[in-house]
Structure 1
Amino acid sequence: MQAAAKKKSRKIRVAFHKNRNKRKRFSDLTRQSEAELEATNDLSTTERLSGKGDLTRYRTIVSSDEGDDGAAIRDIDQAATLPGRVLTAVGSNQCRVEAADGQMYLCSVRRLVRTMSREGRNAVVAGDRVRFTPQADATGVIELVEPRFGTLSRVSRYKAHIIVSNIDQAVIVASVADPHLKLGLIDRFLCSAEKGGIRGVVCINKIDLGSRRLLQPVVGQYARLGYPVVLTDALSGEGIPELRRLLRGRETVFTGQSGVGKSSLLNAVQPGLWRRTGEVSSDTNKGRHTTRVTELLRLDAGGWVVDTPGIRTLQLWDIVKEELEGLFIEFRPFVHACRFPDCTHTHEQNCGIKHGVAHGLISPLRYDSYLRIFNGDET
């Protein structure tokens, strides 16, 4: 079969972040002149304002393709660049990239890539597949970020904070105690995983600090939905073989609240990773951040894991209320039973979801998580 013809390049206009803030307009000039009569002659009599703002900063680039989000992908000289995977990204000038041959490069990000307008906080994140121009002394410049898939993200400073990209599994780590178990936070992570198109795995650590009998309803709640659930104790090694099996051959992000033992679990899964660990504050019962940077780590048994800084709250990004029901997978069979097509499942009569909760077909705890997210409550 004849190979598909190469897409024709074209020049397009794309939005960029503005280069600087708008000039501040001076105010209260009349009061200032009355208070300082002697200095009136020194006041500015005119004020020039630039018409350039957020909507006028555009540039022309050459593009022959676009990503899944519709954003243009800039054409680059493929022969002059190498493919690589971003292992860590700190700012725009400290990206550690592994090339296809295994060599490490410390890369900066081309300013054109950084300034192209986007919804996310960072132009490059851990897990990105990029093309970069190699330079002397194992350094380089990232020229292009390939289209992403399998992302885990949240809201940070009113923008999308993509925690990691190009993964296929998220291990959501919680602890029985120190800090206490937060089912609402687990549910938010599972929603984020569903939104990003990755498989969610629930891992409950520090099982030596609680009652296994009391944990069974929690385990059953998620296992019935098809989510793998593993109970672990990083200190004794209980549950580690099962966790190791789930990680083999996959690209997995470890995420969860600070202090639940993500780094300790990784050290138990593969001794020699030497992930830094910490203790929970006795004053606040909250974990202290010991992992500062999201980092990809290669597993000897095959696959990758991503260690991430702990998160105390998780606000979902790019999820409208109307699609939230679809991220709770057990809601899907009951939605068609709602009387109203725009049912929010909060206060309406003859609601299929509420009927499922009343008859024990949907977990009340999961429904409570839905209501909290729907109403914008943080957990």
Structure 2
Amino acid sequence: MAKPKKQLRTNFRKNRSSRVRESDWTRKFNTENVEEDAAHDERLSGKGELTRKRTVRGSEVNDDAGLGVLLDVDESVCLRGRVLAVHGLTSTVEAEDGRHYPCAVRRLLKTLHTDMRHVVAAGDKVLFRPADREGIIERIEPRHGVLSRESRGRQQVLVANVDQLIIVASAAEPYLKPNLIDRFLVCAEQNHLRAVVCINKIDLINPAALEPLVGVYAQMGYSVLLVSARTGFGIGRLRRRLLGNQSVVAGQSGVGKSSLLNAVQPGLGLAVAEVSAETEKGRHTTTTARLLPLAAGGYVVDTPGIRQFQLWDVIPEEVGGLYRDLRPLVSRCAFPDCTHQHEADCAVKDAVADGWLDARRYESYLNLYGGEG
């Protein structure tokens, strides 16, 4: 909830790099025969690294992954819209009347100090000022339901304002990665997203081989869909899951995310490609997240393939509470700070030994706790 609008001091990024004092005068003198004298003194500015605050008009907000500031703008000259896709410095925004505008982002938004790599993401609800057939994004509304990851030490928001995460994996070509599914599930738990595990390409294997894995996720209350974009098996169930919801489809490259969406709604025409025969890896056909309206109602965001998914803003001590099957056991350990690795009287380790907790899931927890990929 936004607080009353007022003037407030907020952090900004440094607009320019720090000054670099020249220190190679001897080299220049020897090689270039420099005759001019060097400056005998250097002006030191008081506006150094600490000057990162400015006064803006707006209000402080607490959202899942935003700027922390809701700027005060002239709404009489702005239109409301939603970001469909981001291409470099330009964002495609759909206005409430259905028209599309290529929009740039106002400099004030881009210079606010934030941990995000990019200030605008697909799915953002914005206020933008139209000018002919283009526009300027003036304000980003508070977010909810964010799917993000860590990238180069900063937060990369893949999509905002969704309520459902469809985790797409493939039974083969490329091979199934349960640990990657677990990472997506942790992200869904952290951001309060409803998660659905969707395993594509089941026509390539005997579906009975997936029964142990499917059973583990189903026991935790997750919906698991076995589908095939090639044969059409299970597409109806997936379509019903998407109906009327704000969903994001995510998974590693080559699992068939775009192919599934083409099967769900014929006519989308999303680009697809075959998996590499040499490496059995995808070819990154989808290059940017795109928000797509569904004819039957709702939206779905098609995202680029992800080979590594580093969690953002999750410390090791929080991991156990984000695993649904570990969560009920954490409070039963003898030590409140139990890491469930080497401690005695650990309820989690006892559950693994007794067969109540899946051993693979426990290994997945240990990898995530230790920061392994």
The alpha-carbon deviation at position 232 of structure 1 amounts to 0.8
Match of 2:86 in 1: 89
Pick closer, same or farther for the CA change 1:250–1:29 going to 2, 3 Å: same
The alpha-carbon deviation at position 27 of structure 1 amounts to 4.8
The alpha-carbon deviation at position 155 of structure 1 amounts to 0.7
Residue 149 of structure 2: SS of its match in structure 1? strand
For the pair 1:219 / 2:203, whether they are aligned, the reply is no
Pick closer, same or farther for the CA change 1:176–1:8 going to 2, 3 Å: closer
The alpha-carbon deviation at position 23 of structure 1 amounts to 2.3
Residues 150-207 of structure 1, C-alpha deviations (whole Å, 9 max, x = no match): 0100011110001000000011111111110000101011111111210111011111
Describe how 1:148-297 pairs up with structure 2 within 5 A: 148-297=143-292
For the pair 1:16 / 2:9, whether they are aligned, the reply is no
Match of 2:298 in 1: 303
Match of 1:78 in 2: 75
Equivalent position to 1:121, from 117, 123, 132:
117
Amino acid at match of 1:117: H
Residues 232-291 of structure 1, C-alpha deviations (whole Å, 9 max, x = no match): 110100010111111111011110000000000000000000010011122222111000
The alpha-carbon deviation at position 96 of structure 1 amounts to 0.9
For the pair 1:332 / 2:327, whether they are aligned, the reply is yes
Pick closer, same or farther for the CA change 1:53–1:369 going to 2, 3 Å: farther
For the pair 1:140 / 2:121, whether they are aligned, the reply is no
Equivalent position to 2:102, from 92, 100, 106:
106
Deviates more, 1:231-240 or 1:20-29: 20-29
Amino acid at match of 1:347: H
Residue 329 of structure 1: SS of its match in structure 2? coil
Deviates more, 1:195-204 or 1:20-29: 20-29
Deviates more, 1:350-359 or 1:314-323: 350-359
Deviates more, 1:17-26 or 1:143-152: 17-26
Give distance in 2, aligned partners of 1:20 and 1:198. 39
Pick closer, same or farther for the CA change 1:376–1:7 going to 2, 3 Å: closer
The alpha-carbon deviation at position 52 of structure 1 amounts to 3.8
Aligned residues of 1:86 and 1:97 also touching (Cα < 8 A): yes
Aligned-residue CA RMSD (Å): 2.0
Pick closer, same or farther for the CA change 1:352–1:272 going to 2, 3 Å: same
Residue 172 of structure 1: SS of its match in structure 2? strand
What is the TM-score with the length of structure 2 in the denominator? 0.94
Aligned residues of 2:203 and 2:231 also touching (Cα < 8 A): no
Amino acid at match of 2:93: V
Give distance in 2, aligned partners of 1:7 and 1:166. 21
Deviates more, 1:100-109 or 1:35-44: 35-44
Give distance in 1, aligned partners of 2:49 and 2:115. 14
**Aligned pairs, number:** 370
Amino acid at match of 2:108: L
Amino acid at match of 2:268: L
Match of 2:59 in 1: 64
Residue 326 of structure 2: SS of its match in structure 1? helix
Give distance in 2, aligned partners of 1:226 and 1:134. 46
What is the TM-score with the length of structure 1 in the denominator? 0.92
Amino acid at match of 1:154: R
Pick closer, same or farther for the CA change 1:27–1:353 going to 2, 3 Å: farther
Give distance in 2, aligned partners of 1:20 and 1:368. 46
Give distance in 2, aligned partners of 1:345 and 1:50. 53
Pick closer, same or farther for the CA change 1:132–1:41 going to 2, 3 Å: closer
- For structure 1, the 5+ residue unaligned runs are 1-5
Residue 195 of structure 2: SS of its match in structure 1? strand
Give distance in 1, aligned partners of 2:49 and 2:229. 50
Aligned residues of 2:82 and 2:124 also touching (Cα < 8 A): yes
Deviates more, 1:351-360 or 1:231-240: 351-360
Give distance in 2, aligned partners of 1:50 and 1:374. 45
Give distance in 1, aligned partners of 2:111 and 2:100. 25
Aligned residues of 2:173 and 2:255 also touching (Cα < 8 A): yes
Give distance in 2, aligned partners of 1:127 and 1:374. 31
The alpha-carbon deviation at position 46 of structure 1 amounts to 4.4
Amino acid at match of 1:357: V
The alpha-carbon deviation at position 53 of structure 1 amounts to 4.2
The alpha-carbon deviation at position 212 of structure 1 amounts to 1.4
The alpha-carbon deviation at position 359 of structure 1 amounts to 1.6
Match of 1:3 in 2: none
Q: Percent identity?
A: 51
Give distance in 1, aligned partners of 2:342 and 2:238. 41
